[in-house]
Amino acid sequence: MRDKNENMKKLLAVGILGLTMCCGAIAQEASPRPQKPAPKATAPSGTASPDQILNRYVEAIGGRAAWKKLTSRVSTGTIDVPEMQISGTVEFHEKAPNRLLRVIILNGASFRQGFDGNNGWTDDPQDGLRSQTGAELEDARLDADFYHPLDLRQLYSKFTLTGTEKIGEHDTYVIEAARAGGDPDKMYFDMKTGLALRMISRRHSAEGLSTYQEDLEDYREVDGIKLPFTVHQSIAKPSFTITFTEVRHNVELNDSEFSKPAAE
The model carries a pTM of 0.83
Q: Is residue 254 part of a domain?
A: no
Residue 264 belongs to a domain: no
Whether residue 221 is contained in a domain is answered as: yes
Report which DSSP code applies to 83. Answer: G
Spatial CA neighbour of 215 closest among 200, 237, 203:
200
The answer, yes or no, to whether residue 138 has pLDDT greater than 70, is yes
Name the pLDDT band for 42 (thresholds 50, 70, 90): low
Residues 6+ apart with CB under 8 A from 9: 124, 126, 127, 207
Q: Count CB-CB contacts under 10 A for residue 65.
A: 8
Full domain range(s) for residue 90:
2-248
C-beta separation of 155 from 35 below 8 A: no
> How far apart (Å, rounded) are the C-alpha atoms in residues 87 and 123?
19
Q: Which amino acid is at 103?
A: V
To the nearest 10°, report the CA torsion of 28, 237, 90, 179: -100
Does residue 216 fall inside a structural domain? yes
* CATH code of residue 16: 2.50.20.10
In a domain, 77, yes or no: yes
Phi and psi at 97, nearest 5°, equal -90, -25
pLDDT tens for each residue of 86-114: 999 999 999 999 999 999 999 889 999 99
Using alpha carbons only, what angle is made at residue 209 by residues 108 and 19, rounded to the nearest 5 degrees?
55
Say how far apart CA 204 and CA 181 lie, in whole Å: 13
Peptide bond into 44 cis (omega under 30): no
Question: Is residue 21 in some structural domain?
Answer: yes
pLDDT in tens, 162-217: 999 999 999 999 999 998 777 789 999 999 999 999 999 988 887 788 888 999 99
DSSP 42: B
Q: Tens digits of per-residue pLDDT, 215-261?
A: 999 898 999 999 988 899 886 667 899 988 999 999 999 999 999 99
In a domain, 262, yes or no: no
Q: In total, how many domains does the chain have?
A: 1
> What rounded mean pLDDT belongs to the chain?
84
Residue 260 within any structural domain of the chain: no
Contact by Cβ (8 Å): 261, 118: no
Side chain identity at residue 225, one-letter code: I
Q: Is 121 helix (H, G, I), strand (E, B) or coil?
A: strand
What is the C-alpha separation between 117 and 257, in angstroms, rounded? 12
Please check the confidence at residue 38 and state whether its pLDDT lies above 50. no
44-68 pLDDT per residue, tens: 555 799 999 999 999 999 999 999 9
Q: What is the mean pLDDT of residues 137-148?
A: 93
Q: How far apart are CA 139 and CA 202, in angstroms?
A: 9
